[in-house]
Amino acid sequence: MATTMGVTKYLDSPADEDAVIVQVLKKQGAVPFVKTNVPQTLLSIGCSNPVFGKTLNPFDPTRSPGGSSGGEAALIKGGGSVLGFGSDVGGSVRVPAHFCGICGFKPTGRRISDRGLLKGSPGMQGVISSPGVMARDVDSLALGMKALLVPDMFLLDPQVVPIPFRQETYEDKKPMRIGYFTSLRFCPPTPSMGRAVIMAKEALKKAGHTLVAFDPPDEFRAFIDLTSRLITADNGRTVSTMWLDDEVIDEYLEGQIRVWTMPHYLRKIQGFLLKPFWPRVARSFSHRLIGSVYDLWQRLAEREKYVEQFLDELKKKNLDLLLCPAFGAPACKPEHAGKIMAAAAYTSLFNLLNFPAGVVPVTMVTEEDDRMLDDWRGYGNDAFDKFIKETTKGAVGLPVAVQCVGLPWQEERCLRLMKEVETLCSLG
């Protein structure tokens, strides 16, 4: 069956052989039976394309299941499958899992193989993509990882680090020391998202774990100077030539593609005009594009420094685990997917750092969360905040997840924290 990414030119191009992760699972008796819907190009947190149409959220058909692996999350939530896979370069496994009330986990890049998988941005460096796992509970995620981390995969793809699944770490019962934050200054979350972290934090504390406040360093540098610049380093050329050339562009992707492909001088003008009113939006739009190979190398070196800085901050507090919001808001409306990208700062941060991270549903949006949203101003009531607020209004009853994060290659420890959160805050 062809992997189309929602573009017609790939409708008749089925792959010659299965991807490594499919081969490995088939050998163990798994039956891959369906490919599910994604947004055109994969580079979106929504889930619609002109080939297969729009996937709806299982909790509320006026909302999106999230993206890019939104079809998979909706199917699993609806009971149509027990395990699913997607790729995650900014949140594509974790955002739909959060929007649909299931669990999703993105390992460190190259812990599991991406050989044979189609990528939205092949060659893009700096923000690390990894295949991830989705399921209704954390034990199923762990089982999925365990099934993949076997000699067959290490043989079929010698580029992955050959560490088998460490069951003893996953099942460890020692108390944990966990850092937490409820908000990023760059994009404060809507009320239910921060409340979910506090709920999980209190439950973990009551269960005997140590919770320590943690402040992610230099946020604007991370999101604008690094993540945004590195993801759009080609000025959207890969997306516009490789995928969208001669294609009908999905109605919900059009605006985002316009921003990603906007020439430098227009970005500058836009940034200059917006600065007095909406400084954050201005800064997000007007960052300098990568202009040369030298420039790209500088940026990649800066990313390395940022990772070291982040690790140093964790070390200072003797932390190897974090608890934080899964995203800036609960499930959005399809038309807002391209307009609330700043809310993906919570997930994309761990692609920039290349840390394993996963989400677990812990609560639902309440009437009180909805009332509190009326006074919510986000960063400063700018355009990003207005879209987030508009899309979140009336989200009562939608699932809300928290995100658990580990150090590179410590997938089992991260899953262990996820399991503890699930046990303590189960939605039932």
Ligand X SMILES: CCCCCCCC/C=C\CCCCCCCC(=O)NCC(=O)O
Q: By CB under 6 A, which span of 29-37, 84-92, 97-105, 191-199 interacts with ligand X?
A: 84-92
Q: By CB under 6 A, which span of 90-98, 140-148, 201-209, 322-330 interacts with ligand X?
A: 90-98
Block residue for tokens 């761990």: 350
Q: By CB under 6 A, which span of 53-61, 87-95, 211-219, 314-322 interacts with ligand X?
A: 87-95
Block residue for tokens 């979910």: 196
On whether the CB atoms of residues 208 and 175 are closer than 8 A, the answer is yes
Which residue of 55, 140, 348, 392 would you call a contact of ligand X, by CB under 6 A? 348
Q: Counting Cβ atoms within 10 Å, is residue 85 exposed (0-12), middle (13-18) or buried (19+)?
A: buried
Give the nearer residue to ligand X in terms of CB position, either 170 or 384.
Answer: 384
Question: What is the nearest approach in angstroms of ligand X to the Cβ of residue 44?
Answer: 6
Positions 176 through 235 that interact with ligand X (CB under 6 A): 223, 227-228, 231
Nearest residue to ligand X by CB is: 90
Quick one: the chain helix, strand, coil %, rounded to 5? Answer: 40, 10, 45
Which residue of 134, 332, 345, 401 would you call a contact of ligand X, by CB under 6 A? 345
Which residue of 68, 190, 286, 391 would you call a contact of ligand X, by CB under 6 A? 68
Find the DSSP H helices in 317-373. 345-352, 367-373
- Report whether the peptide linkage leading into residue 69 is cis, meaning its omega lies within 30 degrees of zero: no
In order of 54, 78, 148, 362, the CA distances from 428 in angstroms are 29, 16, 28, 10
On whether the CB atoms of residues 16 and 3 are closer than 8 A, the answer is no
Secondary structure class of 84 (helix, strand, coil): strand
- Here's the x/- map for ligand X, 1-40, by CB under 6 A: it reads as ----------------------------------------
On whether the CB atoms of residues 96 and 66 are closer than 8 A, the answer is yes
Is 337 one of the binding residues for ligand X (CB under 6 A)?
A: no
Which residue of 22, 150, 211, 259 would you call a contact of ligand X, by CB under 6 A? 259
Question: What is the nearest approach in angstroms of ligand X to the Cβ of residue 121?
Answer: 6
Query: Which residues lie near ligand X (CB under 6 A)?
Result: 42-45, 68, 87-92, 119-121, 129, 223, 227-228, 231, 259, 284, 341-342, 344-345, 348
